[in-house]
Structure 1
Amino acid sequence: MKKLLLTCLLTALSSTVLADKLAIVGGKVYTGTAQGTLESATVLIEDNKVVAVTEGSNVPDGYDTVDATGKYVTPGLIGAYTQLGLVEVSSSAGTVDSSVTDSLISATGAAFDVSYAVNPDSTLMAISRVEGITSAATTVSRSDTLLNGLGAVITLSGAADSVLKPQAFMSVNVSNSGADGNGESRAALWVMLNQVIDEAMQFTGSAQLNPTKPWHGINSRADVKALQPVISGKSPLLMFADRAADIRQVIAFKKRYPDIKVVLAKGMEAWRVADELAEADIPVILDPEFNLPGGFDQLGATLANAARLHKAGVEIAIGMETHNIRLATQHAGNAVAFGLPWEAAMAALTVNPANILAMPQQLGTLAQGARADIVVWSGDPLEVTEAAEMVIIDGKSIDMTSRQIKLQQRYQTRSKTQQTSQYIR
């Protein structure tokens, strides 16, 4: 019933939200900037950008207004790691672009580029955005090669041009599952990874990759080209590992290649090496809800992982399995229950992933000039009983419906005479 009322509210406001100049007035505003959280403030939007956030309720002439009194206002949330737009039904091969077997163009997997496979019409986009997720990092989750290729940052607006930043990062799995296809041992995986990076560092000029010259590299020419932004530090390298011993190898890798912007992903036992991660300046993308081990790599899993990492000074962001990224606020709220400060939990959903993905000027904050991705919540977004009432993406209000909501409404309104006898009690 609450969802239905919120949908009706948004419908009434939608024409206002589409105005060129919009003021969201009176809400408790989490800015993600040095302004912090303002108890009662006004957010000004013009030409799809944030113009200013000011305390109080004064609105300049020419702005349409939305009353957010008693509500929370935040930047749009960012899924720091997903396969959104790449997978629809995991068991249906025709809808899965989140796994790769092999390719003639790539020997090590570096050249795979998911931006060509993103489907903005995926039903999972709407399911996620009505819960406040306005953008996400999306990438291959599994491949038969060493590297999982180039991931992209996407908007969840549903627009045809949904890729905000193609080739935004690269990823590699250095855990036990990553070793399965690379010599069946971490001993082989790490040797290969070091050689792949060393080889790519030798070819920094395009002339050296001339296709008419003989090539005998571990990488293909396309792989070497794809690795250049990574080895120069322009694009981050997400390294997936859970076991503390594997994470220490990630830290050692960072020391060997200090120019590479290393990011630890998953990291169920990251709390065990929190001080070392902080000293190495390695951020962590994690799901704070992981508690029970799924294998021997994850024996140290704990709900206090996020809080312990934050206390040690590690920058954290929240990323989750694609179909459940909509639950990111709930998982962040549980992390708060286990010691993570509220502001840190909000940062893990907004400004931190923007920093990790090298998009701090565009996403994750309500700073002047930032993209107008904004969510108005009925209350504290980290409380499971509250919900997103209004979601604005690139300055435009979205339709607060999804396939799940439509199914709910469809079957709530069916009378008993419309139901088949097997459902009548």
Structure 2
Amino acid sequence: MHIDLRRLGLAGSLLVSSLSVAYAQSGTFPRNGVYDDRPGLYAFTHATIYTDYKTRLNDATLVIRDGKVEAVGPNVKIPAGAVVQDLKGKFIYPGFVDLYASYGVPEVKAPERQGRRGGPQFDSQKPGAYDWNQAVHPEVNAAELFKVNAEQADALRKLGFGAVLTHQPDGIVRGTAALVSLNTNRNETELILQDRAAAAYSFDKGTSTQDYPSSLMGSIALLRQSYLDADWNQRNPTREQNLSLRALNQQRSLPAIFEVRDKQSLLRADKVGDEFGVQYIIKGRGDEYQRLPDIQATKAPLILSLNFPDAYQVDDVYDAIRVPLQDLKHWEMAPANAGLVAKAGVPFALSTADLKDKKKFLPNLRKAIQYGLTEEQALQALTATPAMLVKAQDRVGALKPGMQANFLVCSTRLFAPESVMLDNWVQGQRYQLSEVPSDYRGVYTLKIGNQPEIKMLLAGKPEAPELKIVKAPADTVKGTLSVNGELATVVYNPTPKTKGSGAVRLSGYYTPDTRMFQGDGQLPDATSIKWSAQRQEQASRAARRDSAKAPEPVQLGQLQYPFVAYGRPAVPEQQTVLIKNATVWTSEAQGKLENTDVLLQNGKIVKIGRNLSVPSGGRTVDGTGKHLTPGIIDEHSHIAISEGVNEGTQSVTSEVRIGDVVDAEDVDVYRDLAGGVVAAQLLHGSANPIGGQSALIKLRWGQTAEQMQIKGAPGFIKFALGENVKQSNWGEANTLRFPQTRMGTEQVFVDAFTRAKEYEQEWKAWNKLSKAKQKKGEAPRRDLELEALVEILNEQRFITCHSYVQSEINMLMNVADRMNFKVNTFTHILEGYKVADKMKQHGVNASTFSDWWAYKNEVRDAIPYNAGIMHNAGLNVAINSDDAEMSRRLNQEAAKIVKYSGLSEEDALKLVTINPAKMLHLDKNMGSIKEGKDADVVLWSDNPLSIYAHPERTYVDGRLFFDVESDQQMRLDIQKERLRIVQKMLEAKKGGSPTQMPTARPTKHFHCDTLGEEKELDQ
């Protein structure tokens, strides 16, 4: 028996009890009262049905029973007892799936700490047999926390979602997520579609009150160590009953979703995943288009946000200046992100994540489609892809027999501007979203009394049509139309420009069958009239076709690498360049060579001489009157580091790596190139005795962080002595962390290397065992902190030590001799002149400042003759910056040593070229102009030690990363690009787009003692 609900006057959610077939049992929950279980048997006929994102069925039928799809197709037999709903002209789509939500899961609030006076927290405060760090809690299971939240569910259903992957977004290792239904008429046991559907991760420690980690590199190190500890725990289950590690092991086979803050951390996360054989699904922040080729290479599926930034209020010139170029460009290009990701072939799902106002989701989705995302790609990203990523494609994301009856009923094509979502069915439960809007739009013939017929146009949105009265092609006036039920009112002023003219007011009713408005009205002179407006079908269809024409393609600015000021459309290519007739400072035994040519080819220096010829396809640069030097190498720098230079929460943090957090978009990289710098050692700060591992980079502006790092470079690590490590200036609260004295600092070194030696012996003993014995025994636990120290003992990693006073310099050399390791470099070393002989005996290098003094107590004995004295004692000496501004003037810092110590000009230049290259063990390939070395050279306008000299060209690997001509052009281009986007923003504001006030983004310059990202102590 077929029942048409419309004839019964029902909305589709009620059934007559005689049609129901009650089941004897319904779940495990008893009920108070009469059981009334209905089969939920419905048939939706004559609809256009998308069974999945690419399969469209015309004039088809969908049958659902008991919350699941029973049949779908064009010739489906309707079962007896089904409630039939005729959806002719309507569209049915699979319900959306959101993979990044916290629906129904309680928000975690950080416990209150006692502020600065409370002091540091070293240990976890979480009771139980759990991990040592509060930010690692894989034991958290969203399914156990989940509780229906009707308000949240309603908001998501209105956007088209029928299921979400929910988790508790807190911490680094966050636990498991559950796939849940947005049905709110069942209990939680019926709504959890998939328990432990995925594991969740991030680099954000969240609400953890523990001090460690305090930096991004600390978070990455903690995640690495957690994976290693989980492996060890699995191999040795009886050694430690750690419930967190046990849970982490159980989750290794689950899809893993990793939330990141930007595209650089996306690449960082994927690198960690590669180390441990995990392919993360990465939830980004909408800037993926800025590094698409590199993201594509990761093969990571993405979860994309549709959180587009509002235009900035740039009416005020001073306000506009405050907005960085990358923010202006991101406003313009962010809506194109999904389309560009799709074009690159990267699989992705779309999410409501990051939207404070969830109502913006559908408008932003349509905007993404306008900016290049196809409707099929959008539907796939909302249905099939999220289902596939969490291995739930047999339950949600499509409409096939046996799957959840999650689907949308739309008035027309889903992504059409005029489309209205009518119903969202979730597990066979109908949730009505809106009524079918009456669509009055079209072309009408308007007849008012005895006046000649005129044209009435209704356009715009169905729910709010715009009215225009056309008396002649050049005579059109706007009016208003309001319809309440069947009653209609039309008001317009036939002569709006005529002073004192009145409005025509027409009231009446609309007849759907004849598609006509008619009734009574009054003219401006109070004459009563009859009126009618008859719809013209052919003209209306033509008007609809015209309005449906594809809009003009969106014009976007150009991508650039990096996506900041002074970025380029592409990284410069390696060039074949002959620099002719320059004064060449070789930093080799040959010294300065006058009127000499240097040929750069394939990233190398291939020839040095006179009257050289440029190979075919190469270019010649006239160096007459100019000076060519090796590129400057900064032995001690803190530029290009993301989210913290110090992990000072523990006295030994040798497990953290600056190489994990290189910021390839720091404009200081470009500024250093403009100062002739080609390479730098990026050092951890000096907040603890044994800090983190260094990154040795070349300033390859525009390339990724990974590409900037020097392949095959030796490992370095930062040690520190003095006031910073014993927390002299950290305030009253910081008196708990060991060490608090200089003698305590010595003990930290002795203890750390004692443990490292024991660790090494433990592994050596293990490796000597036969494979059979290894299978029976317990393997040692890998400890990243101790592994780095073992590398020092084996001369596989080298120490750069922050130092000032002679007593501590002597102390560390004595500890090194006792523990059988070497100190590679003392940096700062402002009292090095007092112990130069002992340093020479130890074989240590000295990297110092030229004339810094009096900036803190430890430097009261600093003298500008320090570098010269150490040089004359036979030490290898370099001048470093430790400062983003000074690094651009290291040539001038080196020149000061000529004044204070009488060094030759050639030896002074070596202080910032070959000498730091030797310190960093890079002199085989860098630091001097010699055939076969890397083409890292700088062409100066004058003697490089002159205050009037400036670099005209800086080559790194034979690529021209800086030259004065292109720099001047880029400055002009930046201004043009800014003005273009500012004008576009002004137009957007004029058109009613929301805006935001510009906020200053201060430049963050790290120094040795910077704690966190912005808080700086006295150096």
Normalization by structure 2: what TM-score? Answer: 0.35
AA of the residue aligned to 2:613 = V
Q: CA deviation at 1:221?
A: 1.1
Judged with a 3 Å threshold, the aligned counterparts in structure 2 of structure 1 residues 231 and 281 are, in CA distance, closer, same or farther, namely: same
Structure with greater contact order relative to length (CA < 8 Å, sep ≥ 6): 1
Task: Name 1:80's counterpart in structure 2.
Answer: 635
Q: CA deviation at 1:49?
A: 0.8
| 1:195 matched to 2:751 | yes
Q: CA deviation at 1:232?
A: 1.4
Identity of aligned residues (%): 20
Task: Name 2:710's counterpart in structure 1.
Answer: 164
Task: Name 1:387's counterpart in structure 2.
Answer: 950
**What whole-Å deviation, never above 9, does each CA across 1:236-263 have from its counterpart, x for those lacking one?**
2011111121122233234334542431
Judged with a 3 Å threshold, the aligned counterparts in structure 2 of structure 1 residues 393 and 297 are, in CA distance, closer, same or farther, namely: same
| 1:321 matched to 2:882 | yes
Judged with a 3 Å threshold, the aligned counterparts in structure 2 of structure 1 residues 176 and 142 are, in CA distance, closer, same or farther, namely: closer
Q: CA deviation at 1:322?
A: 3.1
1:241, 1:384 → 2: CA distance?
29
Please give the root-mean-square deviation of Cα atoms over the aligned residues, in Å: 2.8
CA contact (8 A) 1:126 1:402 kept: no
CA contact (8 A) 1:155 1:164 kept: yes
| 1:238 matched to 2:800 | yes
1:58, 1:366 → 2: CA distance?
16
Q: CA deviation at 1:21?
A: 2.5
Q: CA deviation at 1:176?
A: 2.3
| 1:153 matched to 2:696 | yes
**What whole-Å deviation, never above 9, does each CA across 1:182-217 have from its counterpart, x for those lacking one?**
3210111101201211221333375668995576xx
| 1:64 matched to 2:610 | no
1:350, 1:209 → 2: CA distance?
44
Task: Name 1:111's counterpart in structure 2.
Answer: 655
SS at structure 2 position matched to 1:164:
coil
Task: Name the larger-Rg structure.
Answer: 2
1:155, 1:316 → 2: CA distance?
21
| 1:332 matched to 2:886 | no
Judged with a 3 Å threshold, the aligned counterparts in structure 2 of structure 1 residues 61 and 113 are, in CA distance, closer, same or farther, namely: closer
2:812, 2:821 → 1: CA distance?
14
| 1:44 matched to 2:605 | no
Judged with a 3 Å threshold, the aligned counterparts in structure 2 of structure 1 residues 39 and 265 are, in CA distance, closer, same or farther, namely: same
SS at structure 1 position matched to 2:629:
strand
2:766, 2:644 → 1: CA distance?
29
| 1:131 matched to 2:675 | yes
Judged with a 3 Å threshold, the aligned counterparts in structure 2 of structure 1 residues 66 and 243 are, in CA distance, closer, same or farther, namely: same
CA contact (8 A) 1:24 1:43 kept: yes
Q: CA deviation at 1:294?
A: 2.5
Structure 2: gaps (5+ residues): 1-571, 728-736, 768-776, 980-1019
2:766, 2:787 → 1: CA distance?
8
2:691, 2:924 → 1: CA distance?
27
AA of the residue aligned to 1:270 = G
1:85, 1:99 → 2: CA distance?
14
Task: Name 2:824's counterpart in structure 1.
Answer: 262
CA contact (8 A) 1:235 1:358 kept: no
Judged with a 3 Å threshold, the aligned counterparts in structure 2 of structure 1 residues 209 and 270 are, in CA distance, closer, same or farther, namely: farther
Task: Name 1:4's counterpart in structure 2.
Answer: none
Describe how 1:19-58 pairs up with structure 2 within 5 A: 20-54=575-609, 56-58=610-612
Task: Name 1:179's counterpart in structure 2.
Answer: 726
AA of the residue aligned to 1:40 = N
Q: CA deviation at 1:164?
A: 1.1
CA contact (8 A) 1:147 1:172 kept: yes
Task: Name 1:5's counterpart in structure 2.
Answer: none
Q: CA deviation at 1:75?
A: 1.0
1:122, 1:366 → 2: CA distance?
28
CA contact (8 A) 1:150 1:167 kept: no
**What whole-Å deviation, never above 9, does each CA across 1:137-177 have from its counterpart, x for those lacking one?**
0021144x431110010111221111115772011111122
**What whole-Å deviation, never above 9, does each CA across 1:321-378 have from its counterpart, x for those lacking one?**
2312112111111121112332222111111111111111222122222111110001
Q: CA deviation at 1:397?
A: 0.7
Judged with a 3 Å threshold, the aligned counterparts in structure 2 of structure 1 residues 19 and 236 are, in CA distance, closer, same or farther, namely: closer
Describe how 1:388-403 pairs up with structure 2 within 5 A: 388-400=951-963
1:289, 1:277 → 2: CA distance?
21
Judged with a 3 Å threshold, the aligned counterparts in structure 2 of structure 1 residues 258 and 311 are, in CA distance, closer, same or farther, namely: farther
Query: Structure 1 residue aligned with 2:645, among 92, 98, 114?
Result: 98
SS at structure 1 position matched to 2:881:
coil
CA contact (8 A) 2:914 2:926 kept: yes
| 1:373 matched to 2:928 | no
CA contact (8 A) 2:599 2:614 kept: no
1:65, 1:305 → 2: CA distance?
42
CA contact (8 A) 1:378 1:387 kept: yes
CA contact (8 A) 2:600 2:935 kept: yes
Q: Between Structure 1 and Structure 2, which shows a larger proportion of helix residues?
A: 1
Query: Structure 2 residue aligned with 1:294, among 845, 852, 855?
Result: 855
1:402, 1:122 → 2: CA distance?
17
SS at structure 2 position matched to 1:233:
coil
Judged with a 3 Å threshold, the aligned counterparts in structure 2 of structure 1 residues 244 and 328 are, in CA distance, closer, same or farther, namely: same
CA contact (8 A) 1:175 1:242 kept: yes
User: What is the total number of aligned residue pairs between the two structures?
Assistant: 377
SS at structure 1 position matched to 2:724:
helix
Q: More displaced, 110-119 or 361-370?
A: 361-370
Q: CA deviation at 1:44?
A: 1.4
CA contact (8 A) 1:270 1:305 kept: yes
1:258, 1:24 → 2: CA distance?
48
Task: Name 1:364's counterpart in structure 2.
Answer: 927
1:242, 1:265 → 2: CA distance?
8
AA of the residue aligned to 2:644 = D
Task: Name 2:462's counterpart in structure 1.
Answer: none
Q: CA deviation at 1:27?
A: 0.8
CA contact (8 A) 2:664 2:708 kept: yes
| 1:345 matched to 2:889 | no
CA contact (8 A) 2:826 2:847 kept: yes
1:402, 1:193 → 2: CA distance?
47
| 1:308 matched to 2:869 | yes
2:766, 2:849 → 1: CA distance?
40
1:348, 1:313 → 2: CA distance?
13
Task: Name 1:248's counterpart in structure 2.
Answer: 810
CA contact (8 A) 2:614 2:620 kept: no
Moved over 6 A (4+): 207-211
Q: More displaced, 268-277 or 202-211?
A: 202-211
1:64, 1:275 → 2: CA distance?
49
**What whole-Å deviation, never above 9, does each CA across 1:14-41 have from its counterpart, x for those lacking one?**
xxx9574321111111112233221221
1:230, 1:124 → 2: CA distance?
31
1:153, 1:242 → 2: CA distance?
23
